[in-house]
Structure 1
Amino acid sequence: MAFSEGYDAIKSQLGLDIAQLILDSGDAGIWLWNVQTGETIFNDKWADIIGYSLQELLPVSIETWLSFAHPDDLPKSEQLLNAHFKGDSERYICEARMKHKQGHWVKVLDKGQVQSWDENGNPEWMLGVHIDITEQWLKEREIEFLHAKLQKFTDNLPGFVYQYIVDKNDQAYFPFASSKVFDIYGCTADDIKKSADLIKQIIHPDDLKRVIDSIEKSRVELSDWHEVYRVNHPTKGVIWVEGKSSPIARANGSVEWNGYSEDVTEEVKSNEKIQLLTAVFTTTSRGILITTPEPKIVDVNPAFEQITGFSKEEVLGKNPSILSAKQQPKEFFEKMWERLLNTGRWQGEIWNKRKTGEVFPELLTIDAMYDEHGKVSHYIGAFDDISKAVEKRQLLDELVNQDPLTKLLNRRGLDIQLHSFSHHAANEGNQFSLIYVDLDNFKLVNDTFGHEQGDNLLLEISEQLSLQLRDKDILARIGGDEFVIVLPTLAKLSVCQDIAGRCQKAVEGVAKRYATKVPVSASFGIALYPEDGKNAKELLATADEQMYKMKLKHKASPLG
């Protein structure tokens, strides 16, 4: 085996049997270093470890080592050398990386010991070895990489992954726990690596015995373990945890579980909420139906069956339109769906029918339910039968807005209708007109025949005026002998005049049966929206003015 220059002189000086040392060291690289001068001797194996021949490295010195050693490892090497020189360690031992000829790093175990000291007690010659531990190092790196990969994988899971062991002495601990253990128990993996006592302290006392008993049962029977229990988390408060694991019996008498735990607080609360909602769904007096977006009915509650008379089996898979009484126009449903699609909610009154065909009013609320992608998954409709409330309201409307004698709209009811017409006409660009009708000489009927006959005449005139109008036209009595006719969508003066003329003749025809000194007749005035007014007040004033002009003409007439 070849040595670099100076071997024989150093061998003689130190009296060392270098050959024997080499035999003892096997494939180790040998180095001799004069700490004071930097003179260094290597054997060929030292050079071979880093891919060189000894001849390629000549001349060698301590700088040879320094040039090949990884710069990040040199401070540690120097620290350990100084500790050895001071007598703090019997030997110098350090792991260091060295640059291989092919460009990669190898790792060596660098071991050495001072062999001679000068007269001042300072280290002089030092002998050491390099042992190539690259293969072991690479395996350790691979293990570290796989461990880091496993740790990263488990840390990205929503719960915490663990290995739990109960040894033959009943000592429990977690050799492995992912970082998510903090989310479950509020501690670190190191806190439970040697003992599981901390976990037992954190489990809710009302659940602890059940959890311990279930673990013992799993250990004895080697059956899968699965529990849902509460934990007194140090920062979250009380949370619900679900744990699952499978046991393995080891040869040394211990049992090992590999498992997974996660926070299921929201799921437990959700299940509780579902149970509560199910109870509400079943017991509420409101009728409820659930549909798909198409829509098709997928569920109804008992109140639905009671109110409508339809059983669940009769309506499942059907369109909710089977309930419609078809009393609202097409535009009503178009607006309902427009609002529902835009806002996810609609509420209003609607007329539906029972299984018997009976029509009844509902106060209906429809809410859209959305899936995780923001798309409508279901619609939930909840309704009350408001028949009695509507009857009371209609009766009240009649008392407030209806003329008690003729059952026509009174002044208040007319104002409401005119306000609605004006509002819609302004928004939609529609037109309409009104005719103000005033009876001339009606007082003579009351004075001549009495108020009862006067009321009869008013009833007959109301009936005759109605006969001259369309179904959608409105007739109101706003005073003792004053009527107003509203003509939706009509705003042509000549047509309005024809209608007013027919009404005038109808009044005169009825009045002939009541012989008074001066015959009862009618004066009228016409107002067109929007030419003659933009609101009810302006339109009535215009029509009243026109009617008054006609009345003056009638008074000037000999028939007066």
Structure 2
Amino acid sequence: MSNVQPTRILYIEDDVVTAACVQTQLEQRGYVVDLAMDGKNGLTKLEEKSYDVIAVDYHLPGMNGLQVLQSLAESQFMVPTIMITGAGNERIAVEAMKLGAGDYLIKDTDNNYLELLPGVIECELEKQQLITEKRRAENALHYRDTILEAVSFAAEKFLTCAHWAEPIQEVLACLGQAVATSRIYIFNNHHNEEGLLLTSQLYEWVANGITSQIDNPELQNFPFEPLFSRWVEILGKGQPLYGLLKDFPESEASIFATQEIISMAVCPIFVGNKWWGFIGYDDCLEEREWLPVVIEAFKTAANILGAAIEHEQMNQALRESEAHLAETQRIAHLGHCDWDMTSNTRYFSEETLKILGWPLENHLVSNEKFVNIVHPDDRKIIQNAVAQTIKFNKPYDTEFRISRPNGTIRYLHALSELFRDENGKPSHFFGTVLDITERKQVEKELHESTQTLSAILNAATDSIVMTELDTTCVMINPAGAARLGRTVDEVVDQHLCELVAPEVAASRSAMVEQVIHTKQPMIFEDEEREDLWFEHSVYPVLDDSGSVIRIAVVSRDITQRKQIEEALKKERDFTNAVISAAASLVLVLDRLGRIVRFNNTCEKLTGYTFEEVKKHYIWDCFLSEENIEICKEYFKNLVVTNRPALRHEIYWVTKNKTHRLIDWSHALLPNDKNEIEYVIGTGIDITERKQAEEALAHTLAEQKVILDNSLVGIAFINEERLFVRVNRKLEEMCGYAENELNGHTTEILYSSSEDYNNVGFQNYPLIKKGATYEMEHLMRRKDGTSFWCRLKVKVIDPNALSNGYIWNLEDVTEKRRAEENQRLAATVFETSTEGILVTDADNHIIMVNPAFTVITGYTLDEVVGKDPNLLNSGHHNASFYQEMWKSLVKTGKWQGELWNRRKNGEVYVEWVSMVVIRDASDTIVQYVAVFSDITKRKQTEKLIWHQAHYDALTELPNRTLFSDRLTHAVQTAKRQQEQLAVMFIDLDRFKWVNDTLGHKAGDQLLKEAAQRLIACVREYDTVARLGGDEFTVILGQIESMLNLKTIAERILNNLSQPFKLDNHKITIAGSLGIALFPEDGADAETLLKNADIAMYQAKEGGRNAYRFFTQQMNVLVTEHQRLENALRRALTCGEFTLHYQPILGLDSEQIIGVEAHLRWPLPTEHQRFPEQFLPVAEETGLIIPIGQWCLKTAVHQLKEWH
């Protein structure tokens, strides 16, 4: 049946008669014609349908034919057009042609144009086809260039990458843009465990606006068959598959419906000769006609991708092969040797040295040494092999023996190749050495094994035969020959088919042919004669290539087994009879869930006969609705996984629609291929029993709720004192999980076996008579910890002891602990060395301990009912006590120091801790205070602090306290934006007084000077002694500089007044430096340092003076320090020189001596003269080592002159 579509023509004509004539004429020629009465209607039809040819009249209402052609041109309708008119002229024809008309017909009165019209139409169709083919050819050329660039790009990327997947996204994007497609993807094929061919998407590229499918789970492990068998057939042959999706089979097209695919092309990817997968191209925007050049490009891209994958696989295989070879050589203990014939030495690898038994460090040895260890009988073998290699230039391959240093003999296999120098002269041999001693031993053992196998074959009772493919006997054991009534020699080299009956020979030949064809063994049975059965096993013998080269046949007499099978049949028949008569339900199902056996009990229960349910699915017969899908799913999985089910309970629906509960279990019966063939199920109707159990369970559940919500532990104990049932409270009390105690003896909870036995011997006889046992016991939890409980035991029925006993346990550990704590607290209260005071909520004393009396002097009778403020010393103000009570009530506790007064009026310091006691409703009921007398400790601490912060001689603050006060003063001045002054005072001539009049006079001077300084400042100012004769003063809240100068002058004036020291009247002076905050420093350390600098400037400017610190002073100090450091370096590095000036005698004018002048040349400066640096040297004490250097250097020079 032809698929050629008829030509579709749209004729736009307002004359109804003319239109009908044209339509009739053309339809008689096989055309399909649609009519439009005006131009507007014609254009509307073009938008709704597609046409092969358009014919249009010139005279039309609304718009003429030229205007219609103009609209077609503007809309880019690429359809052949013919102008037909009754009153045309040359101008109209030319305009029509310009607007795209292919031809121009004039209606004549004889209607000749009707005869011409089909020819004109065919002509226009041919012209359109030529234009279309030309356009396709142009597009094909464009595609070819573009796609070839993309394919070249892909080839270049794959050649330069280490792994083919690295540039894949870039390659796919390039291909997608070149082809202008919507989506490109790569799938890889693989097989599952059942051998089913699957495919999975690996990579994908999509154009903008196209939905990605890379995360679609349905495209992973997608099965090709059965829906895509066509793909497997086409792609598997290496052919592409392409076209419009609507033309694909419905089974395929439905899969792609959700992916918005309109047309697609798929090319297979082959790696080597194996179909690896495929690369696909989707167009989701238009119905694309895939041009041959595009398909060829796709095939080329697929081939390049396959080659890249194959190349990577080959490289990977090569790497693995090389690694495998290296590892194999190591494991195989394969050594190598290099014999340099020029030096006649041999280099042996470490593995070779191990083989020879030589030390591993001596790799290079003489050839003579090697020859000496070769077995004397084998040396000729090596000599001949070497000679033959040199003569014929072929590698030698030989075996020989060596004698190791320990005397053992080893067999070696040597394979070596000769290398020659540029002159063709033999230069060295390089080869491998393998210890084959074990192989030689194996060969020996193999020979012995062959002999053993021969003996086994001779002794075997089965017939064992080895034949050629034409059944010529190669080997047969005696039992096989005897079965044929011949000897072994008579059978070997004979065709076995000639030695048996013709009908047997024919069947045996067919069996052999099948084994040769399938390469699989075959086992079959036959009865050679009455009551004589044999089982024949035919096995193919394969060579290394997998081809069958011989046939092995083992025949065994199975007559006895056949007799056993007959007996089993009889037993099976008996079993069937038993099943039919069984009281239990017996049901046999095939692996699809269909009923194949149904015993009488099943018929009685369900009301169905076997014939009614035979071959029906079980779920269609008597399963309840809720179990139908479960059962179907089970059998579905059963076929795939052979997974058995557990025993379970299930409802059956009988024929009369009643529900019966069945206790059901089944077994799976496999066939010879280990596939599930039958499911054999058995069941019991437990409907009535289940109802009784549910009633009992309800009762037990109610009882369990009561037991588990009890506030005491409850247990049921049997006659052997084993736990039968325990409530949750007891389990939690003893630390056990739910039901964990059940079945254990009660001894597990006793603290000892002795306690357990005592209760059993002494108390259980009375309990059995009805007495109630109640006693507190120390019990043991699971984790080994102990607890106290009150145990109450009572027999359930004295007349039926087998009913056991009931235990009640109540944990009394906390109660006993509280009692013990109360006793302990009373002891602590009475014996504590700390005072304890207890008041009621109104703060009235209700109890004190003996230590309270010792510390305060008050007895309990003297203070009971009174307020603790009777101890108040007045040291603390009211706000202190308010804050104390506020903290105590808020936090429930308070700690701190209190100054109280004893009964004798003495004030003491105590460290007290107070707590609030509240009842269950959070109401304060008591206050408890515990305190200790720390008076002596406070006195000691105060003395230590004073010694650490005050000068022992002058009682002035020392350096530590001064630093603290100065830091605090700076912070205060900074916060209040005030000025602060620091004075640094040094006593002039103090050292002279100390050295001349003695330390006692010096100490007296310092104490008097301190008092004079205190008298010069305000009460809140600080005067401190830093050490020696150095004093400092901190002046805060400075009102004016004039006031500061007045204080400085007052201090210097007071210090300059005479001091009376014993019988001496001494006058000294002071030097004073002043630094101001914040001008001269922002911290305490800087202020003190700058005040010190100002003091030294005052001392240098003349004694009994003061100076304010300036920045210039800092520069001078820095320069002074730099010069001092430079002097020390110059002395160490030898930078000084001596210049000698001769001294001439006035009379003789001869040199009578020289003067040595010290000079200090500097590399970066002009020479320094002594007056520039000697004052600093004298001040720092460096003048002494400098003078010693000058003297030593001058004497050494004098010695050289002499």
- Look up the SS of the partner of 1:404 in the other structure: coil
Aligned partner of 1:147: which letter?
Answer: Q
Gaps of 5+ in 2: 1-603, 614-651, 668-682, 1106-1202
The one-letter amino acid paired with 2:1081 is G
Within the alignment, does 1:474 sit opposite 2:1022 as a pair?
A: yes
Corresponding position of 1:436: 983
Which letter does structure 2 place at the counterpart of 1:239?
A: S
- For residues 212-231 of structure 1, the aligned pairs below 5 Å read 225-231=774-780
Superposed counterparts of 1:95-244, under 5 Å: 95-96=686-687, 109=688, 140=696, 142-154=698-710, 160-163=713-716, 176-183=725-732, 184=734, 198-199=746-747, 202-205=750-753, 207-208=755-756, 225-231=774-780, 233=781, 235-244=782-791
| Residue 74, structure 1, aligned to residue 662, structure 2 | yes
CA distance in 2, matches of 1:460, 1:556: 17
Contact 2:1069-2:1104 at 8 Å conserved across structures:
no
Letter in 1 for 2:982: I
Is the deviation greater in 301-310 or in 261-270? 261-270
Contact kept, 8 Å, 1:440 with 1:523, in 2: the verdict is yes
Counterparts in 2 of 1:449 and 1:402: CA distance versus 1, 3 Å = same
Query: What secondary structure does 1:237 align onto?
Result: coil
Mark the runs of 5 or more structure 1 residues left unpaired by the alignment. 1-29, 40-61, 80-91, 97-108, 111-132
Partner of 2:1039: 494
> Do residues 404 (structure 1) and 957 (structure 2) align?
no
Query: Equivalents in 2 of 1:468, 1:369: separation in Å?
Result: 59
Equivalenced residues, count:
440
| Residues 69 and 269 of structure 1, relative CA distance in 2, 3 Å threshold | same
Q: TM-score, normalised by structure 1?
A: 0.54
Secondary structure of the structure 2 residue equivalent to 1:408: coil
Between the aligned partners of 2:872 and 2:722, the Cα distance in structure 1 is: 65
Contact 1:504–1:522, Cα closer than 8 Å, also in 2:
no
- Kindly provide the CA deviation profile for residues 116-171 of structure 1, in whole angstroms up to 9, marking residues without a partner as x: xxxxxxxxxxxxxxxxx97x7885454244134235435xx5x62235688xxxx7
2:854 alignment partner in structure 1: 306
In structure 1, how many angstroms separate the alpha carbons of the residues matched to 2:842 and 2:1096?
59
Counterpart position of 1:12: none
Q: Distance in 1 between matches of 2:963 and 2:881?
A: 23
Pair 1:522–1:330, CA change in 2 (3 A)? farther
Q: CA deviation at 1:296?
A: 9.9
Contact 2:770 2:798 in 1 (8 A): no
Please state whether the residue corresponding to 1:240 is helix, strand or coil: strand
Say which is worse superposed, 278-287 or 291-300, in terms of deviation.
291-300
1:323, distance to aligned residue in structure 2 (A) = 6.1
Q: Which residue of structure 2 lines up, in the alignment, with residue 505 of structure 1?
A: 1050
- Whole-angstrom CA distance in 2 between matches of 1:316 and 1:163: 56
Cα distance in 2 for partners of 1:206, 1:532 equals 89
Q: Assess, with a 3 A threshold, how the Cα gap between structure 1 residues 326 and 267 changes in structure 2: closer, same or farther.
A: same
Cα distance, 1:396–1:556 mapped onto 2, change above 3 Å: closer
1:414 aligned counterpart, secondary structure: helix
Distance 2:606 2:870 in 1: 100
Partner SS, residue 1039 of structure 2 = helix
Q: How does 1:322-361 map to 2 (within 5 A)?
A: 326=875, 350=897, 352-355=899-902, 356=904, 358-361=906-909
- Deviation of residue 404 (structure 1)? 2.8
TM-aligned CA distance change 1:532 to 1:139, over 3 Å: same
Cα pair 2:982 2:1033 within 8 Å, conserved: yes
- Cα shift readout 1:285-344 (whole Å, capped 9, x = no counterpart): 345678999999997654454334455684999679966874799899989x99x999x9
CA shift in 2, pair 1:462/1:379, >3 Å? farther
Contact 1:298–1:316, Cα closer than 8 Å, also in 2: yes
Change beyond 3 A, Cα 1:354–1:426: same
- For 2:957, what is the secondary structure of its paired residue? coil
| Equivalent residue letter for 2:1039 | S
Q: In structure 2, the residue corresponding to 1:494 is in which secondary structure?
A: coil
Question: Measured at CA, do residues 466 and 332 of structure 1 come closer, stay the same or move farther in structure 2, by a change above 3 Å?
Answer: farther
Q: For residue 225 of structure 1, give the secondary structure of its aligned residue in structure 2.
A: strand
In 1, Cα distance between the equivalents of 2:715 and 2:848?
46
Contact 2:1023 2:1032 in 1 (8 A): yes
Which deviates more, 377-386 or 435-444?
Answer: 377-386
Distance 2:757 2:918 in 1: 41
Q: What does residue 21 of structure 2 align with? A: none
SS in 1 for 2:657: helix
- 2:1031 corresponds in structure 1 to 483
One-letter amino acid of the counterpart of residue 68, structure 1: T
Q: Structure 1, residues 160-204: CA drift from partner, whole Å, max 9, x if none?
A: 2235688xxxx76766521454452869869667xx953388442
Separation in 2 of the partners of 1:382 and 1:163?
52
SS in 1 for 2:777: strand
Q: Which moved more, 1:206-215 or 1:474-483?
A: 206-215
Deviation per CA, 1:483-527, whole angstroms, max 9, x where unpaired? 32335xx3x443686377357537746865759999766664444
Q: Alignment RMSD, CA only?
A: 6.4
Aligned equivalents of 1:429, 1:207: Cα separation in 2? 81
- Over 3 Å counting, the alpha-carbon distance change for 1:471 and 1:146 in structure 2 is farther
* CA distance in structure 1 between the aligned counterparts of 2:922 and 2:975, rounded to whole angstroms: 34
Q: 1:365 to 1:76 in 2, by over 3 A?
A: same
Looking at structure 1, the residues matched to 664 and 949 of structure 2 have their Cα atoms a distance apart, in angstroms, of 101
Instruction: Give 1:554 shift.
Output: 6.6
Call closer, same or farther: CA 1:280–1:461 in 2, change over 3 Å: same
Aligned equivalents of 2:704, 2:725: Cα separation in 1: 13
Q: Distance in 1 between matches of 2:824 and 2:714?
A: 33
State the distance in 1 between where 2:1018 and 2:773 align: 81
Identity %: 22
> Residue 746 of structure 2 aligns to a residue in which SS?
helix
Relative to structure 1, the CA distance from residue 547 to residue 146 in structure 2 (aligned partners, 3 Å threshold; closer, same or farther) is: same
On the 8 A contact 1:363/1:385 being kept in 2, the answer is: yes
Structure 1 residue 410: deviation in Å? Answer: 2.6
Residue identity in the other structure for 1:486: I
In the superposition, the TM-score normalised over structure 2's length comes to 0.29
2:1086 matched residue in structure 1 = 538
Quote the residue 1:13 is aligned against.
none
Q: How does 1:419-458 map to 2 (within 5 A)?
A: 433-436=980-983, 438=985, 443=990, 458=1006
Q: Deviations over 1:389-420 (max 9, x none)?
A: 44444444444543233222233443454466
Is the partner of 1:161 in helix, strand or coil?
strand
Structure 2 Cα separation of the partners of residues 68 and 442 of structure 1:
130
Structure with bigger gyration radius:
2
